[in-house]
Structure 1
Amino acid sequence: MKTPYHPPIDSIPFTRVLHALSEPNRLKIIRCLHENIENNCTAYTIKLDLPKSTVSHHIKVLREAGLIQARIDGKEHYYSLRKEEVENRFPGLLSAVVNVKEEDL
């Protein structure tokens, strides 16, 4: 199984992060990861009521924007926030995202 690419946090432009966060379902994934620490793709498919292919696309965008990382265990991919790295690079960003009211998404 191919290891997912995780870009170095210092190479990520702020505009790429903002683009990744511009989609409401991706914001919901970030918020869920902030609460649950780690989840697999199936959890988001159920929670967001989206096809697995759509959830996989959203996760890829978030991963390539440097916001999340993947851990592979057998055939499962588990995702988690790169909290410390993102906070160091973009202070206050994650707290702003997770504090947005659900109805404002």
Structure 2
Amino acid sequence: MIIEQKNLDEIRVDIFKALADPTRLEILRLLKNHGDEMSCGEVGDRIQLTKSTASYHFKILREAGLTTTRKEAKHKYVQIYPDTFSTYLPGFLDSL
């Protein structure tokens, strides 16, 4: 039971670390308002991020389980992963 709780706590820490950045909150807000996946380039362009900075933020969000990314040819597409929010942060997306 202690190991299981530790894993849950580690998940929570990763989620809150990812959410503790205004740029990542802005990315999530943009994705939520768009309602569907967006290309990583489009997200970066809309919030004026360099490609490397956007990539860094996408990685943090993905590793925390807050987004998913799929690759199609040369393009990557990102979208919110709602299961993480409903499990760990119910109602959070509505507050964005």
Task: Report TM bin, short chain.
Answer: 0.7 to 0.9
Greater relative contact order structure (CA < 8 Å, 6+ sep): 1
Query: Could you tell me how far 1:73 is from its partner in structure 2?
Result: 1.2
1:45-79 Cα offsets, whole Å, 9 max, x none, are 21111211000000000000000001111111100
| TM value normalised by structure 2 | 0.80
Task: Return the alpha-carbon distance in structure 1 between the equivalents of residues 50 and 92 of structure 2.
Answer: 28
| TM value normalised by structure 1 | 0.74
The answer to whether the 8 Å contact 2:12/2:88 transfers is: no
The answer to whether the 8 Å contact 1:12/1:65 transfers is: no
Give the equivalent residue in structure 2 for 1:60: 59
Moved segments of 4+, more than 4 Å: none
The AA in structure 1 aligned to 2:17 is H
What is the RMSD of the two structures over their aligned residues, measured on CA atoms? Answer: 1.8
Query: Could you tell me how far 1:94 is from its partner in structure 2?
Result: 2.2
- How many residues align? The count is 88
In terms of fraction of residues, the more helix-rich structure is 2
Question: Unaligned regions of 5+ residues in structure 1, if any?
Answer: 1-9, 99-105
Task: Return the alpha-carbon distance in structure 2 between the equivalents of residues 84 and 59 of structure 1.
Answer: 17
Question: Unaligned regions of 5+ residues in structure 2, if any?
Answer: 1-7
